[in-house]
Amino acid sequence: MSVIKYESAVRPPLVDGSKTYHQVTEDIIRPIETTPSRLWKIGFAISVGLLLFGVYSVYREVTYGIGQWNLNKTIGWGWDITNFVWWVGIGHAGTLISAILLLFRQGWRTGVNRAAEAMTIFAVMCAGQFPIFHMGRVWMAFFVLPYPNSRGPLWVNFTSPLLWDVFAISTYFTVSLLFWYAGLLPDLATVRDRAKLKWRKRFYGIAAFGWTGSTKHWQRHESLSLVLAGLSTPLVLSVHTIVSFDFATSVIPGWHTTIFPPYFVAGAVFSGFAMVQTLMIITRKVLNLQEYITMEHIEVMNKVIVLTGSIVGVAYLTELFMAWYSQNPYEGYTFWYSRANLFSPYGWSYWGMMACNVLSPQIFWFKKLRRNITVTFFMSIIVNIGMWFERFVIIVTSLYRDYVPSSWSYYYSPTIWEIGFYLGTFGLFFTCYFLFAKWFPVIAVAEIKHILKKNGDSYKQQGDQPELEKKSLEEFEHAMAH
């Protein structure tokens, strides 16, 4: 919930057009009540197709073993862990928008938080697949949980970063889901109360948990949202920190660095915002929500992208500097030969990463480009390609040649089933997102109404700033108490 107390008249409005409360409901709920467009059906069919291909790829991996992938003893982590870190990173923007920006009182978050939180949940679902299936014998996956078993009981190693990951990712998923659904309750009740069809009344009746909009419930809801935001803020920082510990606590050159936690978190926010941009630009167009997800929202997110992209850039340069400054031959070899040398086997991936993540976002210093939809859309995809390269660079270029030349590996390229698994998670992600966009309100209706009189276009023009009589309220409370 928004906790903005006052609003500067200088800021541009967050909701365009002269809206009333009822119109807000109409605009956002209407796509749920109409039959899906042809574009939606085509997109959904493609997503399900990708998902099925992914399911088949995973079926092969489970049936025949990890040998279906091109991993070997030296490159033990390849595409799978790259994809895992990539998806977890994308999953960071949602909670950042809904939690950290709530605490920072950024009003613009209300337009995009719902969809970004949904995106987070789906991205974490995709991320989770990779470590689980990399276990090989996936039917033993529950061994990572500390449950009383008949083998001693033999507990898990609580000091292993891989186990910290289990706790971090599952907690992050659960808390994001609860946060998201708690916010959805009032909006599902809105859909339910407008519904004409029997099944729709029934479905949203169950989904809305019997929400009525009682003042006491709102008071508790606000308290819940605020505390969940307070909990999610350190949580979102901890998750990618812990993911970076998987690498940083090892002794592999290129991984063993203390810069990893902040560098990974900045990268996660960077790629997450890029994915939010990709989805928002499509969603606002297809569902006709340009007045709620405005140019202002896109511009603000582009500013976040150029900031985090530059932080990531500084981290890359720091790593190169430290590799030289430490005079550690293994570090130096990894950073200056395996990565920064364009003509080394994987040099292309390092420079691809540099071009996509560090150089190209700099165009967002220009206001005109920040406010250009086509450029933003194109850039959002470039950034996510770059962030995928980053994880690939970190994992593969560090592993393929480390200390002993006799155990160096040949050139690693994925099999079709490795690629298929990755495509399959795209299928899962977009299938979930298409279903979400069709059956749930993609914008938080109640929150938009809450900020409407402060940030709505027409109200701002009137200079109509309803201040709900702070002083007389205190007097009234005092009078009623005696």
Partner 1 sequence: MDVRKFVVGLFDDEKVLFPAVKQVRKAGFRIHDVYTPFPIHGLDKVMGLRETSLHTAGFIYGITGTTIALSFMSWVFTSDWPLNIGGKPHLPLPAFVPVTFEFTVLCAAVGMVLTFCYLCQLAPGVKKHHFDARATDDKFVMVIECTSETTEAEATALLNAAGAHEVHTQIAEAGWWFGTYDKEQKLYDESQVKVAH
Considering only residues 46 through 65, tell me which ones interact with partner 1, judged by CB under 8 A: none
Q: Is 22 in the site for partner 1 (CB under 8 A)?
A: yes
Looking at the DSSP bridge assignments, the partners of residue 456 are 15
Report how many residues bind partner 1 under the rule CB under 8 A.
Answer: 79
Q: Is 362 in the site for partner 1 (CB under 8 A)?
A: no
Beta carbon of residue 206, minimum distance to partner 1 (angstroms, whole number): 5
Cα atoms in the 13 Å half-sphere on the side-chain side of 374? 0
Q: Is 469 in the site for partner 1 (CB under 8 A)?
A: yes
What region does 410 belong to: left with phi over 0, alpha with psi -120 to 50, or beta?
Answer: beta
Among 60, 201, 371, 438, which residue sits at the site for partner 1 (rule: CB under 8 A)?
201
The 8 Å CB, 24+ separation contacts for 303-307 are 303/364, 303/370, 304/269, 304/273, 305/270, 305/273, 305/274, 305/277, 305/361, 305/364, 305/379, 305/380, 305/383, 306/361, 306/362, 306/364, 306/365
Q: Please, what's the b/e burial string for 30-62 (b: 16 or more CB within 10 A of its CB; e: otherwise)? A: ebbeeeeeeebeebbeebeebbebbeebbebbe
Q: Which is nearer to partner 1, 204 or 430 (CB)?
A: 204
Q: Which is nearer to partner 1, 249 or 344 (CB)?
A: 249
Among 174, 288, 462, 465, which residue sits at the site for partner 1 (rule: CB under 8 A)?
174
Of 166, 142, 87, nearest to 119 (Cα)?
A: 87
Q: Which is nearer to partner 1, 22 or 73 (CB)?
A: 22
Looking at the DSSP bridge assignments, the partners of residue 15 are 456
Beta carbon of residue 213, minimum distance to partner 1 (angstroms, whole number): 4
Q: Is 199 in the site for partner 1 (CB under 8 A)?
A: yes
Q: Is 212 in the site for partner 1 (CB under 8 A)?
A: yes
Beta carbon of residue 170, minimum distance to partner 1 (angstroms, whole number): 8
130-169: contacts with partner 1 (CB under 8 A)? 146, 152-155, 157-159, 161, 163-164, 167-168
Cβ–Cβ < 8 Å for 438, 284:
no
Beta carbon of residue 191, minimum distance to partner 1 (angstroms, whole number): 9
Task: State the DSSP code for 36.
Answer: P
Contacts of 225 by beta carbon, 8 Å cutoff, 6+ apart: 1, 102, 179, 182, 183
Q: Is 175 in the site for partner 1 (CB under 8 A)?
A: yes
Contacts of 467 by beta carbon, 8 Å cutoff, 6+ apart: 6
Q: Is 39 in the site for partner 1 (CB under 8 A)?
A: no
224-283: contacts with partner 1 (CB under 8 A)? 224, 226-228, 231-232, 234-235, 238, 242, 245
Cβ–Cβ < 8 Å for 438, 287:
no
Task: State the DSSP code for 155.
Answer: P
For residue 117, the one-letter residue type is E
416-455: contacts with partner 1 (CB under 8 A)? 446-447, 449-450
For residue 473, how far is the Cα from the chain centroid? 41
Beta carbon of residue 237, minimum distance to partner 1 (angstroms, whole number): 11
Beta carbon of residue 121, minimum distance to partner 1 (angstroms, whole number): 14
Among 11, 30, 137, 220, which residue sits at the site for partner 1 (rule: CB under 8 A)?
220
Among 69, 204, 273, 333, which residue sits at the site for partner 1 (rule: CB under 8 A)?
204
Q: Which is nearer to partner 1, 130 or 179 (CB)?
A: 179
